[in-house]
Amino acid sequence: MDRLATLIFLCALFTTGCREPFYPDIAPADLSVLVVEGYLDTEGLPSTLKLSYTRNIQTEDSSEPSYPGAIVYLRSESGVEYPLTDMGFGKFEFAYDIPEDENYRLYIATNEGISYTSDLIKPILTPEIIDVGFERNEQGAEIYVTTKGDENADDFLWTYEETYAFRPKIPTSYTYDAELGDVVIRDLDERTDLCYRGSVSADLILETSSRFEDQFVFRQSITQILQDDERLSVRYSILISQKALDKKASEFWEILRKNSNDLGSIFSPLPSNIGGNIKNDQNSDAPVVGYVSLGTVKQKRFYINVREVTPWRAVEPDYYSCFIEPDTIRRDSYGQSFGSGSFVPVLPIIPDGAFSPIGFQGAIRRCTDCTLRGTNVKPDFWED
């Protein structure tokens, strides 16, 4: 689920926070409201606009959002149009280097015949990220960013993507080859002892630089990785994106952030009252939730190796109860034991003076195969 749709869904859940749920006697209504989320980079860095619909919280249908089909484009005040590429599932890619001294409007025309137009948007030049680092603490490791605002960029929004390498509880380089009827060493492209996994954070991290002396934002916390989290068990990478916001955009995201943190408070504004800078062209009173911004996105990638946070022992619930079976599987039983793939050869048993194993000890695949939880293909950006 997309970040904004997730926050809206969570905000609505405050109505279910009582010990005895209250179900008002009201007629069902179509509460599908267009949700728009996007910060479009003006220097050609591919960025994504996301469209989805909210859902009636009383419906028995799946809570997964539905996505409108649409034609989306950005138009400058001078009349130049920049169409966004439909990537499917409500995602539209923007990848243009556009003049930052012009103002723009975003136009959305859905397949349902409804059109939407944004307010006039002025691009904001985001200052560079000065530093990214981490600090070891009692809870684990806190990752931070340092930057400096100016007269044109006072409010900031940070988002981040995480990628990390990990190993299974019981690594093995062996596999059973049914054609040979023997245990062999895996090819590198089939390895299951080192994998990669990633995610895009839904956290809203906001700060106003004018709250600090000389607008210097020092060591703004981005995320806290708890002690013994698997993410720091081998090597970890975080890509931090820094985006400067205008005052109205900052207020919009701050309201959403407070709603996501203050669930259960009847005094927090509901998402339907938040609005944004997108309007329905056919009915200006129709609710639309979302905010579109234009500006430069500044990014910095940062790595942490496990040796930098040692001692660090990964504790992963998926690997509970994993162990190597003590019985030796001999050659004449390889097919019976390893043929299904659910049980994997791990440890060769080689008698003293012998050159080849007489058998293998094994473990269940869940404990040995990291591709069940990630990919063994190294990301293009990855640096060892």
* 148 and 183 belong to one structural domain: no
pLDDT at 264 over 50: no
User: How much is the pLDDT for 16?
Assistant: 42
Residue span of the structural domain in which 356 resides: 170-192+316-372
State how far the Cα of 81 lies from the Cα of 134, in Å rounded to an integer.
42
pLDDT at 65 over 80: no
Report if residue 88 sits inside a domain: yes
Res. 1 pLDDT band, cuts 50 70 90: very low
- Tell which of 287, 308, 329 closes a domain: 308
* 154 and 31 belong to one structural domain: yes
* 230 and 367 belong to one structural domain: no
More confident residue, 265 or 154: 154
Query: Kind of pairing, strands 288-295 and 34-41?
Result: parallel
- Tell which of 252, 287, 308 closes a domain: 308
Report if residue 231 sits inside a domain: yes
* 45 and 132 belong to one structural domain: yes
Report if residue 73 sits inside a domain: yes
* 134 and 272 belong to one structural domain: yes
* 152 and 69 belong to one structural domain: yes
* 248 and 149 belong to one structural domain: yes
pLDDT at 5 over 60: no
- Residue 345 in contact with residue 362, Cβ under 8 Å? yes
Q: Over range 370-378, report the average pLDDT.
A: 97
Report if residue 377 sits inside a domain: no
* 230 and 368 belong to one structural domain: no
- Residue 328 in contact with residue 360, Cβ under 8 Å? yes
pLDDT at 27 over 50: no
* 45 and 187 belong to one structural domain: no
pLDDT at 271 over 90: no
User: Cα separations (Å) of 198 from 6, 238, 350?
Assistant: 18, 9, 39
Tell me the pTM.
0.85
* 231 and 152 belong to one structural domain: yes
Res. 58 pLDDT band, cuts 50 70 90: low
User: How much is the pLDDT for 8?
Assistant: 52
Which of 22-36, 60-74, 213-227, 266-280 shows the lowest per-residue confidence on average (mean pLDDT)? 22-36
- Residue 142 in contact with residue 221, Cβ under 8 Å? yes
Report if residue 381 sits inside a domain: no
Count of domains observed in the chain: 2
* 180 and 241 belong to one structural domain: no
Report if residue 284 sits inside a domain: yes
User: Cα separations (Å) of 260 from 173, 253, 265?
Assistant: 45, 11, 10
Alpha helical stretches, state H, the chain: 3-12, 247-261, 334-338, 365-368
pLDDT at 30 over 90: no
User: How much is the pLDDT for 243?
Assistant: 98
pLDDT at 123 over 60: yes
User: How much is the pLDDT for 55?
Assistant: 65
User: How much is the pLDDT for 14?
Assistant: 41
- Tell which of 308, 334, 355 closes a domain: 308
Report if residue 348 sits inside a domain: yes
Report if residue 278 sits inside a domain: yes
* 269 and 364 belong to one structural domain: no
Q: Mention every residue, 6+ apart, whose C-beta is less than 8 A from residue 272.
A: 33, 287, 289
